A and B are shown apart, each in its own frame.
Chain A
């Protein structure tokens, strides 16, 4: 081992994150090399200084009860209630079932699991959640977006730099970590409006329950939620979605023009 190869290993060495073999050969180098040993000592002291000096700051006394109160409130006004009532209006015969479920199943977790495969609920979740999502990675270069997703272990289709026939241009991407594990979103913007395309993995979507429109050779499934529209389509094994506060015809046009499909 020489100084250049050693230099790359200092941080992991200090943190005890090197494999045994590498650690042994680095230790051997440190025995004989003062320069490297000094570097390691400095990094160790920076680490030690941070852990010594940064005191553990406990949460303020009132915070726990404040959070619990907010959780209780959240439980009372759970969003799934709205999802159920919307479904109920469209399918009145499900009313009895839904109400029975409500009274019988008190545990929230179970209820939301039961509802998950319902596409309208899924759409609502996708959009409500998406409103919360930040662009993690800002760039207008399609190649960079693709390699970035690949570096995160997600394979995405080729990303166009703009969405024809409108002038939405690529501004960045993010990974939706909360909704499902491997959701990749490409985000486009035009005149202050954002549209994003994502691949919906990890959640079973029963597209057949949605309204559909045949558009050229493609079949699109549409959902409206608040001011937003969601258009989904099946491609190979995956379901893709395009979401935005944009007319669904426009979303379909973008989806059809874009050869992500």
Chain B
């Protein structure tokens, strides 16, 4: 099929440690990029970089978190190449009284892709998650879709655990605003809290 040799020790190690996470990466990549083709490219780029730096990966640490970290950086980078003057949002990395900005990437429009994927992605909750500001989106995906713990997410994002918590909190209140009426329809929200 291909000549990425399974019998080679280093390659086999890469296959069993890193490549096994392809589905998890793709699952988030498709929500980050908003379309299947870009998600495939992003995942491929992530594995290529991981392969180049695999010797540096500490074998006892969490490979999925490491891969996500690479993917996040590649994604920011890709966006940076597409746009010369990226929009910025306020930093919330815990600097009281300090002004700063983080790169923010705009929500991409869904492209008509493979029908199976478009059917899955054509959903109000999907839409709401996809339209979250970037700094909240990945945190929500890692926590509530991938089921990662704060510490692992902090490792991926390279930020303190407190920042993970505050972004998650703000991400969820965004979702709550967008989805309030829809959620009530589905019975996720029993009462209006009027917050």
A236 touches B (CB below 8 Å): no
Among B51, B94, B102, B114, point to the contact of A151 (Cβ < 8 A). Answer: B94
Measured CB to CB, the closest approach of chain B to A18, in angstroms, equals: 10
- B125 lies within 8 A of A59 (CB): no
Binary contact track A59-71/B, C-beta < 8 Å → 1, others 0:
1100111111111
Task: Give Cα distance in the complex from A72 to B190, angstroms.
Answer: 54
Task: Assess whether B1 is in contact with A65, with CB atoms less than 8 Å apart.
Answer: yes
B93 at the interface (CB under 8 A from A): yes
- From 124 to 176 in chain A, residues with beta carbon under 8 angstroms from any chain B beta carbon are 132-139, 141, 143-144, 147-148, 151-152, 175
Interface residues of A in 41-93 (CB under 8 A from B): 41-43, 45-51, 53-60, 63-72, 74-75, 79
Q: Mark A199-237, 1 if CB is under 8 A from B, else 0.
A: 000000000000000000000000000000000000000
Contact of A50 among B9, B30, B145 (CB under 8 A): B145
Q: A57-B26, A133-B77 given as contacts; is B101 within 8 A of A139 (CB)?
A: yes
Q: B55: which of A38, A42, A70, A109 is its contact (CB, 8 Å)? A: A109
Q: How far is the CA of A38 from the CA of B190 in the complex (A)?
A: 10
Chain B residues near A55 (CB-CB < 8 A): 120
Q: Is A245 an interface residue (CB 8 A)?
A: no
On whether the beta carbons of A11 and B4 are closer than 8 Å, the reply is no
Contacts of B31 in A (CB 8 A): 54
Complex Cα spacing A78 to B125, Å: 43
Instruction: Given A46-B183, A59-B22, A141-B99, decide whether A54 and B145 contact each other with a Cβ distance below 8 A.
Output: yes
CA distance A56 to B147 in the complex (A): 12
Tally chain B residues at the interface, Cβ within 8 Å. Answer: 85
Question: Which residue of the partner chain A has the closest CB to B13?
Answer: A109
Q: Which of A7-47 contact B (CB under 8 A)?
A: 10-12, 15, 17, 38-39, 41-43, 45-47
State in angstroms the CA–CA spacing of A38 and B150 once bound together: 24
How many chain A residues touch B (CB < 8 A): the figure is 65
Decide if B125 touches A72 in the complex (CB within 8 Å).
Answer: no
Q: Identify B193's interface contact among A17, A42, A141, A144, CB under 8 A.
A: A42
Contact yes or no, A137 B40, CB < 8 A: no
**In the complex, A67→B39 CA distance in Å?**
13
Point out the residue from B2, B10, B26, B70 that lies within 8 Å of A108, measured CB to CB: B10
List chain A residues, Cβ under 8 A from B175. Answer: 46, 49-50
Within 8 A of B (CB), among A169-201: 175, 177-180
Q: Report whether A45 and B40 are in contact in the complex, using a CB–CB cutoff of 8 Å.
A: no
**11 A–B contacts from the bound complex (CB under 8 Å):** A42-B176, A42-B195, A50-B144, A51-B145, A54-B141, A57-B30, A64-B19, A71-B48, A72-B4, A75-B51, A137-B100
